[in-house]
Amino acid sequence: MSSSFAPNLLRDRVALVTGAGQGLGKAIAAALAAAGAKTIVNDVAIGPAEACVAGLRSVGGDAEASIFDVSDSEAVHAAVAGIIERHGRLDIVVNNAGIGDFVEFDLITPEKWRRMLDVHLTGAFNCSHAVFPHMKERRSGSILNISSVAGKRGDFIGNAHYTAAKAGIVGLTKSLAMHAAPHGVRVNALAPGLVATELTEGMSEAMRATTLARIPAGRLGSPEEIASVALFLVSDAASYIVGETVSVNGGSYMD
């Protein structure tokens, strides 16, 4: 576990990272823990969450697992209330939980559509909705939503359900940011390009080659490269950044 930022950047903060059992979420949890945050590792499955927690603790991190499905509003509100009760505060929420489904538009079923939006977009809403009253009362807090380059540009390989969910996150971020900022709460989003995680392992070689050809940097991003930007955005170092969706994509979309 390492961080290019000051080791005490998030000292005394409590942070929840959803979907942190693997991939990008796991890297973000590691970055926040390395910066001194008490890090709550969420996943829908207990095994990956506890493995992540064990890894963080093995290198000196302060972490615990919290198992719930972000698409379940009641479960989210109960989990967030429990975190606040145990620790007295919840300073940071990173809405990262997501699922992958590399499929062309014609193959998107209504069930696939609903599940994609339920996890990505409704999940971000549920977690933000659960924590905001607490942050509002304390007049402090940071919410970071993980969108995607697809949410800004569209996705040339299909995935309309994923793209719609990630574009919705951009809109949710802007709307909530305008509402939250007067109460001392910052809301931003991060839009990664394609990152080498478990979610991208299902890509065909042809799809991977087509994708790489559109990235000026010539490679996929690493989870740690995205996590370092996430750490910055939730920290006081980004205190005047509000309602932005920050692109980290190797040049595949420049805005």
**Residues composing the chain:** 255
Angle CA(11)–CA(12)–CA(13) in degrees, nearest 5?
90
Q: Hunting for tokens 């979420």 — which residue is that?
A: 25
Which residue is associated with the tokens 């989003």? 189
Catalytic residue among 68, 125, 162, 232: 162
Provide the edge-to-edge strand list for the sheet that holds 141-146: 62-67, 38-43, 14-17, 92-95, 141-146, 185-192, 245-248
DSSP E strand boundaries for the chain: 14-17, 38-43, 62-67, 92-95, 141-146, 185-192, 245-248
User: Within the chain, what is the greatest distance between any pair of CA atoms?
Assistant: 51
Residue in the structure block whose two tokens are 């991939």: 23
Tell me if residue 253 is catalytic: no
Report which residue type is found at 180. Answer: A
Active-site residues, by number, are 162
